[in-house]
Homo-oligomer: A and B are copies of this chain.
Amino acid sequence: MGRRSDHSREELRELILEEGHRQLSEVGFARFSAREVAKRIGYSIGTIYNVFGSYDALLLALNGRTLDVWLAFLEQRLAGREERRLDAAIEAYFDFALGCRHAWTALYDFRLPEGTPPSQDYRDKVAAITGVIVREIAAILPPGLGGEALPLARSLLASVHGHCFFALNGTFAMLGETDPVGAAKARVADALARFGAG
């Protein structure tokens, strides 16, 4: 078959991303197959390469979509919340990771070849999620410590990430930890206490 006009370039891209994200969410990164995605949308594997150029680019785009969903999820959880907003953000971190287990895990399982930085677009998405936490922490920190918000947010994100990662990959289960969320909240509280916040 040759050229067809079933979908515009953009429609096709969206079609692939939609089905691709469904696949990734269902089977996980290790079993994800670009061929399978092509088959399911009724196109051939070559078409995916036409649109995305490579497997890596496709996966980066899929992970980008996960980041989009994650950001929306986080903000929705915070919307209207008055107290304990940082705790809510931590809960949202865990709930998203657990609820979108495979897609969330793929964010970290997939890595571009060494020396290949992700696109600016992707970096912006990561920065957007971080930005939410920076904002929340800045609102909590005592006046005059605003400059600490970014470094602290990075570090607390890493701490929460570690707890969430261990919760999902079984490390915590191995070690008998039954309340990863509580532990993560406690560590964040410890850090904020140092700055006289919380």
Contact = CB atoms under 8 A, between A and B. Distances in A.
Interface string A9-38: 000000000000000000000100000000
Nearest to A178: B151
A78 interface: no
A109 B165 CA distance: 11
A174 B123 contact: yes
A165 B108 contact: yes
A158 B151 contact: no
Given A111-B30, A183-B155, A163 B162 contact: yes
Contacts of A159: 158-159, 162-163, 187
Contact of A194 (B30, B183, B190): B190
- Tell me the number of copies of this protein: 2
Interface residues of A, number: 41
Contacts of A52: none
Q: Which of A176, A183, A190 gathers most chain B CB within 10 Å?
A: A190
Given A127-B174, A162-B161, A175-B127, A187 B155 contact: yes
Interface in A144-188: 150-151, 154-163, 165-166, 169-172, 174-177, 180, 183-184, 186-187
B172 A154 contact: yes
A111 B126 CA distance: 25
Given A117-B170, A190-B193, A193-B194, A175 B154 contact: yes
A163 B158 CA distance: 5
A130 interface: yes
Nearest to A194: B190
A45 interface: no
A176 B62 CA distance: 24
Interface string A104-127: 000011010000011000010011
8 contacts: A30-B111, A118-B174, A150-B175, A154-B166, A154-B172, A158-B184, A190-B190, A190-B194
